[in-house]
Amino acid sequence: MVQFGPARYIPGMTDTPTVDFGFKTVPAEEKATLVREVFDSVAPRYDVMNDLMSLGVHRVWKRIFINAIQPRPNETLLDLAGGTGDISFLALKAGAGRVICSDINAEMLQVGQGRALERGFARGLSFLCTDAEHLPLPDRSVEKVSMAFGLRNCTDKDAVLREVRRVLRPGGRFHCLEFSKLEIAALAPLYDAWSFKALPAIGGRIAKDSESYRYLAESIRTFPDQATLAKKMEAAGLERVAHRNLSGGIVAIHTGWRL
């Protein structure tokens, strides 16, 4: 189980770049390690917890996401923050020719590799353990990039978006499925109660780790809203940026092209 203490004072903190880690502020150089510890902890029960946390709705969101991506046999899809492989497997089932399932967390990828072997997805699928801020791929090397529920955990989101544009071929498209800003005010109290009371309790009971799930809930609230993320994508050089809300804005699909 991962334990998180309060944000600590660091000498010279005013000169140290900081980022959010849930509702805490931490030195930017520490966030990747902290996030890796979270996902090391939750990896064994990650898929079960996804079903419990979303009441199964995450499966619907992901099917809609795959329909938006429109995988094709003659294209390579880079699936960033691919984790245990859900999006990669769905893309292959939908007709993707080649999928690179990439994640910074080796524990998550190991779970994904095991699932791939069990489900017969070895052909056309490769795994890459790397930081999305520094992709070891050539410029203009893939037709599509997907990222589902991973961008909010990245330290430098702008760097990730720049890397996405770099590796996309001209005419290629980026698809991002991420938690966003709920746009139905009447549901906000229920949503907050579910996020900050129910999820940590479920995490403690099922995964024996309430703190990691508290962080995941907090990370959703600190993530840029729909309009702010669109501006970040445009600043990274992506064009024709658009988004589509799902479930009243609880999640949104953002898209942008490299033209």
pLDDT tens by residue, 86-134: 999 999 999 999 999 999 999 889 999 999 999 999 889 999 999 999 9
Q: Give me the phi and psi of 178, to 5 degrees please.
A: -150, 155
Packed helices 46-54 and 57-69: angle between N→C axes, nearest 10 degrees: 100
Q: For 40-44, 58-62, 74-78, 194-198, which range has the lowest pLDDT when averaged over its residues?
A: 40-44
Q: How many CB atoms lie within 10 A of CB 25?
A: 12
Q: Is the predicted pLDDT of residue 5 greater than 50, yes or no?
A: no
Range from 6-10, 65-69, 103-107 that averages highest in pLDDT: 65-69
50 and 216 in contact (C-beta within 8 Å)?
no
Q: How far is CA 183 from CA 140, 232, 251, in A?
A: 36, 20, 10
Residues facing residue 22 across a β-bridge: none
Range from 9-23, 47-61, 100-114 that averages highest in pLDDT: 100-114
Q: Residue 42: its pLDDT value, please?
A: 63
Range from 3-7, 34-38, 93-97 that averages highest in pLDDT: 93-97
Q: Is the predicted pLDDT of residue 185 greater than 50, yes or no?
A: yes
Segment 67-74 shows an average pLDDT of 98
Q: Residue 15: its pLDDT value, please?
A: 60
- DSSP class per residue in the chain: -----PPPP-TTGGGS-EEEETTEEEEHHHHHHHHHHHHHHHGGGHHHHHHHHHTTHHHHHHHHHHHHH---TT-EEEEET-TTSHHHHHHHHTT-SEEEEEES-HHHHHHHHHHHHHHT--TTEEEEE--TTS--S-TT-EEEEEEES-GGG-S-HHHHHHHHHHHEEEEEEEEEEEE-----GGGHHHHHHIIIIIHHHHIIIIIS-HHHHHHHHHHHHHS--HHHHHHHHHHTT-EEEEEEEEGGGTEEEEEEEE-
134 and 164 in contact (C-beta within 8 Å)?
no
pTM of the model: 0.84
Q: Residue 46: its pLDDT value, please?
A: 66
CA torsion, ordered 252, 235, 28, 211, to nearest 10 deg: 0
* pLDDT category of residue 49 using cuts at 50, 70 and 90: low
Range from 44-53, 115-124, 168-177 that averages highest in pLDDT: 168-177
pLDDT tens by residue, 209-253: 788 778 878 888 889 999 999 999 999 999 999 999 999 999 999
Q: Residue 4: its pLDDT value, please?
A: 32
